[in-house]
Structure 1
Amino acid sequence: MRLLITRPMPDKVLAAAKARFDVTLRDSAAVLDAAELRAALRDYDVVLPTLGDRFQADVFADVPAPRARLLANFGVGYNHIDVAAAKAAGVAVTNTPGAVTDATADIALSLILMTARRLGEGERLLRAGQWQGWGPTQMLGMHVTGKTVGIIGMGRIGKAIARRCHYGFGMEVLFHNRSTVGDAGVPARQVPLDQAMAADFVVVAVPGGAATHHLIGADAFGAMKPSGYFINIARGDVVDESALIAALQAGRIAGAGLDVYEFEPKVPPALIGMENVTLLPHLGTACLEVRENMGLMAVDNLIAHLDGRDMPNRV
């Protein structure tokens, strides 16, 4: 069975895939272009794609009878794949939930600390040779311990963030979720979106897709307080980036920490130019063991398909 892997992968993942499949490894970090997307469906039995490989309805329309029968996505988020169009074409879709939870939650806490305590700004100052020495009023930021956090999306990752905030920093946890959450795992209150946005720190942890596109826009930012910090570790298009920029430029919020962007890998110059914004290049799961676990989970889905078994993580 011919398998296309669309990006370079850890050695352990490649070895597991090559043990069961005829593997074609695409040696490029760029997303699949229009021709490559169509060729993937046409020329391979199964595909292991990842973020940015946009298998949208137009791609399936151009390949109405695809050879491929499974897109085993590398990653928990799959909003780059039109699952309904895939299903209509007879193509199953799987993902890799669970493997990314703790690493992504860690990045959320990193962004909270980096932004509130001005750590990126301080490192830039030091590396530029501009540090004049310690002083009582040098680079004062916001104290994190004991503050409130508003978590938007209380799934696996949201709960992992809540645990870190509550047990690590004694924070009061508020959260907004589309469905009722019976057990948040820590003392927490489920509240409407505007109340969660009014916390000291707001962390977005919802899945991407049509249902959450621009969930956080001008109205949501209007509910934040001027001292509030906004953190996004979910998907870039959950946030209306222009509304975020407007809120920051007008001083309606204190700062932002971002690991994802609406039009990755493009980052607006306006964000790059702001010292009160921490910017990371989508590092949420960037640990070798995590990426290995993600890849092996994707391979498990592929092998289940090969063996005619139920796939563990079908979406």
Structure 2
Amino acid sequence: MSRENRTRLLIARKVPAAVARRAEAQFHAFVTESDMDAGSVVDFCEKHDVPAILIGKKSGLQVEHITALPSTVKIIANASAGFDHMDVAAARNRGIVVTNAPDALTECTADFSMLLVLAACRRASEYERIMRSGWGKSFGMTEMLGTRVNGKTLGIVGFGRIGRAVAKRAQGFGMRVIYTDVTRAAESLENGATYYASLADMLPHCQVLTLHVPGGGVPLMAKNEFGLLPKGAVFVNAARGGLVDEDALYEALTSGHLFSAGLDVYRNERNTDKRFAAIDNVFLTPHMASATVETRDQMGFTALDNVAAVLDGRTALNPV
């Protein structure tokens, strides 16, 4: 194969057709039909000397895989905002650029977070089950009541791109917004939101709480933190399942301390804690916050933009 026609990119996860077409045209990419594991990625790179890799969770490269990569690899691109499925420090130590796609998911994840807020507050999963079972009875004035969103105080943990986008949507529903983060945002970005310097200080004021921070380490929300929320609060998580002690969450939901929860992420994804599916006051979705045609295309295109920049000798657009 001539240098001009050689494979310059391995796409190790299944991507949308539009992303695959561009990758093949621009980089003569090898595009997998099903997600590759890390060992298969290393084998391919050793055989084909590709300078760029686009990976997913299944192909998350840890230190032993990155150490085994040939010196030809210049960039590992993630088509997601998160990169906790790989060892970034090990890649940096080898001089390999790691990128992500932080902007591509913002709007759809914020939309989905508001879906979780509304569905949890208004008992959406229960209402849908009633209809699917045939309805069959009328409900009186005191039955099957949700809790109103308008006028509630929404606490946001993490006031980055997604947190701020959620705040704007919540304000459109007439919610008061408070937030906590490592540092206070510029006043121009707060848009009227109130800052709390610590999570513990903010929690007692949150009638609805939503998380928008990276995962990893000790759970952010455990028994003590759920206990600080006011009785009847609603909890939402579309960030990372590892942020939550699920035993503590289950206790808070079944004891009546929490009114409900809306969950898109879990500690053990694909094999989630079945206790949550057995209780009514949880709205559950299978990690789908970014699952729109437009966003998934943009995630892939952002990864390809980063690959193009690095292979052309320019600075990556979204270095981690």
Tell me which residue corresponds to 1:173.
Answer: 177
Residues 266-297 of structure 1 deviation map (CA, whole Å, 9 limit, x = unaligned): 21101111111111111111111111111111
Give the structure 2 partner of residue 149 of structure 1: 154
- Displacement of 1:179 after TM fit? 1.6
- CA distance 1:241–1:64, shift in 2 (3 Å): same
Deviation of 1:225 after TM superposition, in Å, equals 1.8
- Aligned match for 1:250, one of 251, 255, 260: 255
CA distance in 2, matches of 1:59, 1:274: 41
Alignment TM-score, normalising by the size of structure 2: 0.90
Query: Which residue of the other structure, out of 13, 18, 25, is the alignment partner of 1:12?
Result: 18
- Distance in 1, matches of 2:38 and 2:137, equals 52
Deviation at 1:305, TM superposition (A): 1.6
Gaps of 5+ in 2: 1-6
Moved more, 126-135 or 90-99: 126-135
Q: Percent identity?
A: 38
Query: CA offsets, 1:215-239, max 9 Å, x none?
Result: 2222211211220111001111122
Checking the alignment, whether the CA contact within 8 Å between 2:13 and 2:59 is kept in structure 1 is no
* Deviation for aligned residue 1:68: 2.5
CA contact (8 A) 2:12 2:41 kept: no
Give CA deviations for 1:75-132 in whole Å, capped at 9, x if unaligned: 1111112211111122211011111111100011100110110011110111012441
How is 1:1-315 mapped onto 2 (pairs within 5 angstroms)?
1-28=7-34, 32-39=36-43, 42-43=46-47, 44-61=50-67, 63=68, 65=70, 67-166=72-171, 168-183=172-187, 184-191=189-196, 192-198=198-204, 199-210=206-217, 213-315=218-320
Asked if the contact 1:151/1:196 (under 8 Å) is kept, the reply is no
Aligned equivalents of 2:271, 2:89: Cα separation in 1: 28
Aligned AA (1:75): S
The answer to which of 121-130 and 242-251 deviates more is 242-251
Q: Residue type of the partner of 1:266?
A: N
Letter in 1 for 2:173: F
- Cα pair distance change 1:53/1:35, threshold 3 Å: closer
Contact kept, 8 Å, 1:163 with 1:185, in 2: the verdict is no
Alpha-carbon spacing, 1:53–1:176, altered in 2? closer, same or farther (3 Å)? farther
Which segment drifts farther, 63-72 or 174-183?
A: 63-72
Q: 1:37: how far off?
A: 4.8
Q: CA deviation at 1:40?
A: 5.4
C-alpha contact (below 8 Å) 1:65/1:89 kept by paired residues:
no
CA distance in 2, matches of 1:88, 1:276: 47
Q: Secondary structure at the match of 2:80?
A: coil
Do the aligned residues in 1 keep the contact of 2:99 with 2:318 (CA within 8 Å)? yes
- In 2, Cα distance between the equivalents of 1:67 and 1:218? 48
After superposition, the Cα gap between the structure-2 partners of 1:41 and 1:232, relative to the gap in structure 1 and judged at 3 Å, is farther
The letter of the residue matching 2:295 is: V
Q: CA shift at 1:26, angstroms?
A: 1.9
Specify every segment of 5 or more residues in structure 1 that has no aligned partner in the other structure, as ranges: none
Instruction: Note the alpha carbon deviations across 1:108-161, whole angstroms, 9 max, x for none.
Output: 110011011001111011101244134323310101100000000000100011
Does the 8 Å CA contact 2:24/2:30 hold for their aligned counterparts?
A: no
Q: Deviations over 1:24-56 (max 9, x none)?
A: 22222x5x4353354355454311112453322
Q: Quick check: 2:38–2:61 contact (8 Å CA) kept in 1?
A: no
Q: Deviations over 1:193-245 (max 9, x none)?
A: 023323010000012344xx512222211211220111001111122223222
The answer to whether the 8 Å contact 1:51/1:75 transfers is no
The answer on whether the counterparts of 1:78 and 1:208 sit within 8 Å (CA) in structure 2 is no
Q: Runs of at least 4 residues of structure 1 off by over 6 A?
A: none
For 2:193 and 2:58, how far apart are their aligned partners in 1?
34
Cα-Cα RMSD? 1.9
Mapped contact 2:91–2:97 kept (Cα < 8 A): yes
